[in-house]
Amino acid sequence: MSKIIQLLILLSLYSRLIYAIDLNSTNEIINNATEATKKLETELNLVVNDREANSTNVETNVTIVENNITSIPEKQELSIEKGDSRKGKNIFKYVLKEDCNMSAFKFAEKHSQEEWIEILENNKVKETIFETCPNVENYYQDKWTDDLYQFFYEASNEDEIPEC
């Protein structure tokens, strides 16, 4: 009988030991979770504070832009007198011709001089070029417009034939 009692006592002690180990593990898990929660709370506070600071910066930047919007120069108007037809010829000949698949003369004669004037007045010079030569839109430079217009206008004169 004493062996049975000893076994029962050992079994009882063993159960308490397992229970104690489980409690230690549980306490350790709770402590780790508490630390992680504190870290997350700190990080959240930092994010919230940064967001509030950035929000203020964005509002300040918008105000600065709104105040300075009057200092932006207006779009430059095209004019019949502006531009150099020789430069326009070279731009077409050496830059645009390949992607347009036609000579400058063929391009210019698509419109009469009167039509070119109307195109200029409606600020449609670039659009007219892009309609015929869509591939040039990727690299077209606005500074070419006056020179190209001048060249197209002069080249559309039925009495003159451009050299390219």
Q: What is the mean pLDDT of each run of 10 residues along the chain (164 residues)?
A: 75 66 72 74 69 56 48 46 85 89 88 90 92 90 91 79 51
94-114 pLDDT, tens digit each: 998 898 898 888 888 899 889
Between CA 76 and CA 92 the distance in angstroms is 22
Instruction: Calculate the alpha carbon distances from 12 to 20, 24, 79, 123, 143 in Å.
Output: 12, 18, 104, 97, 94
Per the structure block, which two tokens stand in for 77?
């108007």
Place of tokens 């930092």: 46
How many residues are there in the chain?
164
Between CA 123 and CA 81 the distance in angstroms is 15
**What predicted TM-score, i.e. pTM, was given to this entire model?**
0.49
54-81 pLDDT, tens digit each: 555 545 544 554 454 444 444 445 455 6
Between CA 93 and CA 95 the distance in angstroms is 6
Burial class for 157, CB neighbours closer than 10 Å (0-12, 13-18, 19+): middle
CA dihedral of residues 106, 111, 116, 117 (deg, nearest 10):
150
Q: How confident is the model at residue 160, as a pLDDT? A: 55
